[in-house]
């Protein structure tokens, strides 16, 4: 049975990779990636990666979950920004930083964060807003992959 009301949702299935990719995309790009759940709604739903663009006021009834709402706070706080990269491995004889070394260090830091984030997906989430209407409905999160 399907329903236009999101309160019928009991659980959301999310691909672990989609949640992590959405979190990284949103931090690294000017756009916003979300996990989107589209009506009609029923007990078990799938949330899929969606790069959010202004829909021109179109009312779709879709639920857009921010990836940060699905990840533990401690992991979000440890996101490896360029400013936070450690330069401790730079030798004293090297007055400048080699761009390739910065890039490789950044790649390693992101891969480590990606692994931590994959293990930090929350077990429940509150479906907050559907087209501007606050629903405040808590559902279970089921990880895929």
pLDDT of residue 62: 86
Which range, of 62-66, 67-71, 89-93, 139-143, averages the lowest pLDDT? 89-93
Tokens in use for 28?
A: 């690294």
Exposed / middle / buried, residue 19 (Cβ in 10 Å: 0-12, 13-18, 19+):
buried
pLDDT tens digit string along 35-52? 999 989 999 999 999 997
pTM: 0.81
| 45 within 8 A of 12, measured Cβ to Cβ | yes
| 144 within 8 A of 16, measured Cβ to Cβ | yes
Q: In the chain, what are the domain boundaries?
A: 1-71+121-145, 73-120
pLDDT of residue 122: 98
């Amino acid at each position: 049975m399907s329903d236009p009301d999101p309160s019928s949702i009991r659980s959301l299935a999310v691909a672990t990779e989609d949640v992590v990719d959405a979190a990284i995309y949103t931090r690294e790009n000017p756009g916003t990636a979300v996990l989107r759940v589209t009506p009609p709604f029923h007990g078990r739903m799938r949330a899929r990666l969606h790069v959010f663009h202004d829909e021109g006021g179109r009312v779709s009834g879709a639920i857009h979950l921010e990836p940060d709402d699905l990840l533990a706070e401690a992991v979000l706080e440890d996101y490896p920004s360029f400013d936070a990269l450690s330069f401790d491995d730079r030798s004293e004889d090297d007055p400048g930083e080699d761009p390739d070394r910065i890039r490789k260090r950044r790649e390693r830091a992101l891969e480590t964060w990606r692994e931590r984030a994959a293990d930090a997906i929350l077990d429940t989430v509150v479906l907050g807003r559907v087209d501007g209407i606050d629903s405040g409905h808590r559902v279970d999160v089921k990880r895929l992959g």
